């Protein structure tokens, strides 16, 4: 049975009530004070973060403004250099047609090449991002490619011809020059394959009325690339086809040279090789070419008939 509350506790009940209320009020005051401190601290932190965000936004805006100004300046420089490059190319008679035909820079060749090289160097120093997705003028790619062709910077020339083709893939001359650039870059199997592919595209796009010697040159050059790739049966067929159209000395002798190399590498074609060499070496400078391309003729380098043909070229 639960006992009743002692009398003495009943007497102090108001005191207990007062103390309990006081403690509750004190605890409430403490909580209010702690909340105030937390709110002040939190507010300060929010203000600091907002200030940092504001500063970051201002800096980003400044960077964007600076970047826009830099891009505007770069574009002006590009326009200036492109105009300068075009004028220099015109002064040297450097056009896509003259490059395809093999014409030399007609006057002040060294000065023209140096000027073009300096302009291209200045463009590189600008670190201009001339990628296909920047909306750059494709004609600028073509100017740069032609410029690098003139200065014999073949890798860069091939890259810019490719960038131009990404915009316009319907010009056989561009494919032809890109094929030559890849071939002259001598950067291995991938470049060789790109060159072969470009020759094929150029041939596919040739107009019916094209000069026969230009058609001949394309097939002979394609055959020369196939020769480099050791695809000798295809190489022979391509060069022989080119030789059928060749009427100029350059194309005729180039066909004979490539056929001599191909026959030297094929089995049991010694007599064909000798016949081509005899016809080729009527043009004496090719004797030096043969000496510089010894690797094609290494099988016959100590062959008496081969040496006799070479000796006759030097002695005549």
SS3 labels along 192-204: HHHHHHHHHHHHH
pLDDT single digits (tens) 282-305: 888 888 888 888 889 999 999 999
Predicted local distance difference test score (pLDDT) of residue 242: 98
- CA dist., res. 159 & res. 178, Å (int): 8
pLDDT in tens, 52-87: 888 888 788 777 666 677 777 777 777 788 788 888
Burial class (CB in 10 A: 0-12, 13-18, 19+), 133: exposed
User: Quick one: tokens of 127?
Assistant: 């670190």
Query: What's phi and psi for 106, nearest 5 deg?
Result: -75, -30
Question: What pLDDT sits at residue 15?
Answer: 62
How big is the CA angle at 206 (ends 205 and 210), to the nearest 5 degrees? 165
* Tens-digit pLDDT string for the chain (316 aa): 555 556 655 666 666 676 666 667 777 777 777 777 777 777 877 877 877 888 888 788 777 666 677 777 777 777 788 788 888 887 777 777 778 876 554 445 777 888 888 888 887 777 555 444 445 678 888 988 998 998 889 999 999 999 999 999 999 999 999 999 999 999 999 999 999 999 999 999 999 999 999 999 999 999 999 999 999 999 999 999 999 999 999 999 999 999 999 999 999 999 999 999 999 998 888 888 888 888 899 999 999 999 999 888 777 6
Question: Burial of 11 by CB count in 10 Å (0-12 exposed, 13-18 middle, 19+ buried)?
Answer: exposed
Per-residue model confidence (pLDDT) at position 238: 98
* Predicted model pTM: 0.73
The pLDDT score that the predictor gives to residue 306 is 94
What is the pLDDT at residue 299?
A: 92
Rounded to whole angstroms, the Cα distance separating 198 from 164 reads 13
Quick one: pLDDT at residue 131?
A: 47
Q: Residue 134 has what pLDDT? A: 45
* Full 3-state SS string of the chain: CCCCCCHHHHHHHHHHHHHHHHHHHHHHHHHHHHHHHHHHHHHHHHHHHHHHHHHHHHHHHHHHHHHHHHHHHHHHHHHHHHHHHHHHHHHCCCCHHHHHHCCCCCCCHHHHHHHHHHHHHHHHHCCCCCCHHHCCCHHHHHHHHHHHHHCCCHHHHHHHHHHHHHHCCCCHHHHHHHHHHHHHHCCCHHHHHHHHHHHHHHHHHCCCCCCHHHHHHHHHHHHHHHHHCCCHHHHHHHHHHHHHHCCCHHHHHHHHHHHHHHHHHCCCCHHHHHHHHHHHCCCCHHHHHHHHCHHHHHHHCCCHHHHHHHHHHHHC
């Amino acid at each position: 049975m639960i006992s009743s509350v002692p009398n003495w506790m009943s007497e102090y009940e108001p005191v207990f009530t007062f103390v309990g209320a006081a403690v509750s009020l004190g605890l409430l005051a403490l909580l209010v004070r702690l909340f105030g401190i937390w709110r002040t601290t939190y507010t300060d932190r929010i203000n600091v973060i907002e200030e940092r965000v504001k500063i970051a936004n201002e800096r980003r805006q400044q960077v964007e403004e600076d970047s826009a100004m830099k891009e505007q300046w770069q574009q002006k420089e590009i326009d200036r250099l492109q105009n300068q490059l075009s004028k220099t190319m015109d002064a040297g008679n450097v056009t896509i047609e003259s490059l395809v035909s093999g014409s030399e820079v007609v006057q002040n060749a060294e000065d023209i090449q140096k000027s073009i090289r300096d302009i291209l160097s200045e463009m590189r120093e600008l670190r201009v991002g001339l990628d296909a997705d920047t909306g750059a003028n494709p004609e600028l790619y073509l100017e740069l490619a032609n410029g690098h062709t003139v200065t014999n910077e073949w890798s860069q020339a091939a890259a810019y011809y490719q960038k131009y083709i990404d915009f316009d893939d319907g010009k056989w001359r561009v494919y032809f020059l890109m094929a030559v650039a890849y071939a002259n870059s001598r950067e291995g199997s991938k470049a060789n394959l790109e060159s072969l592919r470009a020759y094929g595209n150029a041939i596919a796009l040739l107009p019916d009325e094209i000069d026969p010697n230009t058609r001949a040159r394309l097939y002979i050059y394609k055959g020369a690339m196939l020769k480099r790739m050791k695809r000798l049966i295809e190489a022979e067929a391509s060069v022989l086809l080119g030789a059928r159209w060749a009427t100029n000395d350059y194309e005729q002798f180039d066909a004979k040279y490539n056929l001599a190399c191909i026959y030297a590498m094929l089995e049991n074609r010694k007599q064909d090789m000798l016949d081509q060499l005899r016809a080729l070496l009527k043009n004496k400078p090719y004797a030096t070419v043969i000496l510089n391309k010894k690797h094609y003729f290494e099988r016959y380098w100590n062959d008496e008939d081969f040496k006799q043909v070479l000796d006759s070229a030097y002695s005549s």
